[in-house]
Each structure stands twice: as structure tokens, then as C-alpha cells.
Amino acid sequence: MVSTTAKEIFIMGITHGGKTFRPSDWAERLAGVMSQFRPGGPQPGSHLGYSPWCVPMSVNGVRCVVVHSDLRDHDVMAWDFCMNFAKDNDLQVSHGAPAPM
């Protein structure tokens, strides 16, 4: 279960078994699906950029998606989609930035 006090949740591209999650562009795909969930709602062309609440990045050489708690406040079903994606794919989740490796 994800803490409700964490502002940023990092969904890491590493399974609990230590394997790299595939495909390699999974983070961009997930963030792309979430691009419509943004402050002020979807705007024309908003599908061309990531939402500030769901951003792909690399941390310590590992692909991840940073999900901000404001997404939960805006649309709980979108938040649940991200959290269930992590759970369904057995991905590691970090409350705040993960520690350096």
C-alpha cells in the first residue's frame, strides 16, 4: 500500500525479483497515457507533453515514473491506474526519491 503522505511516488522499472521491466519504453508509455490528467484538465495539444503529475525519468540508471500525489486529488481513478500498474507488474515503488545505488 502506498503512503498517503508521500508527495512523490517513484514507480521503478525493476520488479521485486530484481529483473528489469520490459519493454524499455514502458515509462514513456505510462506517462503518455496519463498526459491528459493535468492542472486545468486536458487542453488542445496536451497529449503532446507529459502531465506534471506523471513524468518518466531515469533514477540511478533505472527507468521510472514519478507520480505526484496531486494526481490522486485530481482524479483518484487515474491515481489507482498508476498504482495498480505497478502492483500488477510487480514493480518496486519508492515513497520519495530512491536512495542512490
Stretches in the chain below the pLDDT threshold 50: 1-4
For position 21, what pLDDT does the model report? 97
Which string of DSSP letters, residue by residue, matches 18-48? SPBPSSTTHHHHHHHHGGG-STT---TTGGG
For position 40, what pLDDT does the model report? 81
pLDDT digits (tens, 9 = 90+) for 44-65: 766 678 999 999 999 999 999 9
Q: Which residue segments constitute the domains of the chain, with CATH numbers given?
A: 8-95 (3.30.70.2340)
| DSSP secondary structure letter of residue 97 | S
